[in-house]
Amino acid sequence: MALVQIVEPDRQPDPSQPRLAVGIDLGTTNSLVATVRDGQPTPLADAAGRFALASAVRYQKCGGVSVGRDAKQCASCDPFNCILSVKRLIGRGVDDVRQLGQQMPYRFRTGDSKMPMIETVQGAKSPVEVSAEILKVLRERGEQALGGELFGAVITVPAYFDDAQRQATKDAAKLAGIRVLRLLNEPTAAAVAYGLDRQAEGVIVVYDLGGGTFDVSILRLTRGVFEVLSTGGDSALGGDDLDHAVADWIVEQSGCGTDLSPAQQRTLLRVACDLKEALSGQTVVEAHYGDWSGELTRAAFDALIEPLVARSLRACRRAVRDAGIEKEDISAVVMVGGSTRVPLVREHVAAQFECQPLTDIDPDKVVALGAAIQADILAGNRSGNTDLLLLDVNPLSLGLETMGELVEKIIPRNTTIPVSRTQDFTTARDGQTAMALHVVQGERELVRYCRSLARFELRGIPPMVAGAAKIRVTFQVDADGLLSVSAKETRSGVETHVEVKPSYGLSDEAVSRMLEESLAHAEDDRKARGLREQQVNAERLLETVRVALDADGDLLNSQERAAVDEQLALLREAAAGNDQAAIARQVQKVNQATHEFASRRMDATVRRAFAGRQLDEI
């Protein structure tokens, strides 16, 4: 009879036994799982020896679900039930998804939480459910290879994933039975793999062109500390877009027309992808689609994709500016993602940064390997956990709406996370007992140009004069990039908070647009903010003087009152206009016109306070 060891509740498992942890690269086109064995990160293969798992899920009539290569091969014959590139859908709203309609031939409907649902033979499936099927297979592969239940996993996400997309990824992992140790930005994971392997120090650029997204990160590596200086990219750009460029060329050359069925579209994209991959090693390839045949040269292919590569380089230049470095400071460029095998991509990146990119580690595996290293650390398998410190950043600024529809940035973009920032605010009106807080995300100065994340209220503020209450607002972003906001009135102790978990994410196009517009409209925003601040000052001054006149207007004679009223009327007129300097001048004139009135009020207040009291009492 075999003996089974029982661990008593007050006894810990043998600390010499490592916890089973893996790193997962949940990709748009392919996904991988890796672990650390004998101190080295290693990708895990399936029974057939394949490391990459196609990020494809097929729902079958019989109730079965297939994931991976078999599902991908059925995309042409069963396009509505074979879900590809689901990563482009996760955490996004229905309107965002419909913009991808031509690229994704699925039947969508709106779910209860505004999440897009994909109609299949097994009913409507959310992107979270589809992603969970992929993660289940990766979890099972990890458990079979390691011989036990996983302690947890580090899952990578694009640097541009917002709160909703990150939360949806964690939800998918939970549905797949995976404990998430951390969400890790994909470029940072690549830096981990290269940094520990080479003991590199200096400034490194991570150029990550995956199947559905492009990310670039600037990192400073110093003695095991990975600090992300800036992130950028184009999250509507990836290998899929290169395929579509080739597919459009095939349609044009073959004359087959653009009115293709979903099955024809899938076949066309598969042919385009095969041509793209073949041209990484050849200068000319034969192209066949239906009854048409032709040749595609590498030169012609380069011309088709050059505008897409140029888009990625623009994002690179912007990231370098955001990092506050010069091109000469860059010591290495790391290439990540299968699309970086395209010769034109490598040539343009080398020319852009004036150095030969690093491609020693398989670009398809490097992210999973970096995630495995971080998972090994977080699982406690490395003594002291001092081997590595990761300092990621938040990709967009987070702030609050203030009076005048202005944005007060609490956590600027590219701030190292995890982070907690606190700022004090106050009430705008006498007797105010509640405050509405509007959390926004973006780079512009006015609320209407930013994205609304959440609204909540702080109630129970003791009634005081305007400006006397002290509302302490705290923003916290955790290591996964998820935000929580709390507000507390410091005198009474009343407090409220909100966890920002929107039901759908910011569209990829919107992320890029917000960053571009913040640069293009920087001067306009500065002027607009200055104008609104002057208008707010004017409104507050008008309100303050009105309250004072209602209370003590009898301290002025009719002529003095008329002079004050005239200046107030001129201020109202100026505040309604767009001349910032004119408002400022009129504010000064109102202050001058009410100076004597303020002095008399002060004297009257002092007399009332001292009336009937003896000197020794005072």
Name the residues annotated as catalytic.
25, 87, 186, 208
Judge contact between 132 and 90, C-beta under 8 A.
no
List Cβ neighbours of 574 (8 Å cut-off, separation of 6 or more): 538, 582, 583, 585, 586
Could you say which DSSP state residue 9 is in? T
Structure tokens given for 401:
């709406």
Cβ atoms within 10 Å of 383's Cβ, excluding its own: 8
List Cβ neighbours of 471 (8 Å cut-off, separation of 6 or more): 424, 425, 426, 427, 435, 458, 461, 487, 488, 489, 490
Residue 615: φ, ψ to 5°: -60, -40
Judge contact between 142 and 119, C-beta under 8 A.
no
- Residue 428 CA to residue 403 CA, distance in Å, equals 8
- Residue 327 CA to residue 440 CA, distance in Å, equals 33
Judge contact between 241 and 102, C-beta under 8 A.
no
Task: Describe the chain by its helix, strand, coil percentages, rounded to 5.
Answer: 40, 25, 35
- Residue 89 CA to residue 98 CA, distance in Å, equals 10
- Residue 289 CA to residue 272 CA, distance in Å, equals 9
Q: Comparing C-alpha atoms, which of 420, 424, 401, 409 is closest to residue 488?
A: 424
* Parallel, antiparallel or unpaired: strands 483-489 and 471-477: antiparallel
The amino acid sitting at 108 is F
Cβ atoms within 10 Å of 611's Cβ, excluding its own: 7
Judge contact between 228 and 188, C-beta under 8 A.
yes
Structure tokens given for 362:
């398989």
Distance, C-alpha 358 to centroid of its chain? 26
Cβ atoms within 10 Å of 414's Cβ, excluding its own: 20
Judge contact between 238 and 211, C-beta under 8 A.
yes
List Cβ neighbours of 467 (8 Å cut-off, separation of 6 or more): 426, 427
Judge contact between 393 and 324, C-beta under 8 A.
no
